[in-house]
Amino acid sequence: MKLDFYTTDWCGDCVRSKALLKKLNVEFSEINVDLNQEANEYIKSLQVNQRRIPTIVFEDGSFLVEPSDVELENKLKELDYIK
C-alpha cells in the first residue's frame, strides 16, 4: 500500500513525519507543493482553501493534516499499512 505525502523543502513537521514513514517502512510518494501547482491546489481543496503541510493522503481517500507521530502511526495501523 502506498500513500501520497504532500510537503515542501522548508517544513520541519514534514521532515519528522517522513522520518517516521521511513522508520516504519511505509511506501510513499513525496510531492512538493511549492514545485507542483496542481498538488498545491489539491491540498487547498482538501483543507477548505488552506495549505497546511504535511498533508498525507491514504489510498482510501482519507487524509491527515499536520499529524503528530502518534496520530500518523495510529492511522497507519487502522488502515493496515503497518501491523
pLDDT of amino acid 69: 98
Is residue 30 classed as helix, strand or coil in its secondary structure? strand
Q: Does any domain span residue 35? A: yes
Question: Which three cell numbers mark 70?
Answer: 502518534
Q: What CATH number is associated with residue 62?
A: 3.40.30.10
User: Domain containing 50: what range?
Assistant: 2-78
> What pLDDT is recorded for position 14?
97
Number of domains in the chain: 1
Give whole-number Cα distances, 60 to 13, 19, 52, in Å: 23, 22, 20
Q: pLDDT digits over 3-54, tens only?
A: 999 999 999 999 999 999 999 999 999 999 999 999 999 999 999 989 999 9
- The answer to whether position 73 is within a domain reads yes
The pLDDT value given to residue 5: 98
Residue 72 has pLDDT above 90, yes or no: yes
Provide the pLDDT for residue 1: 82
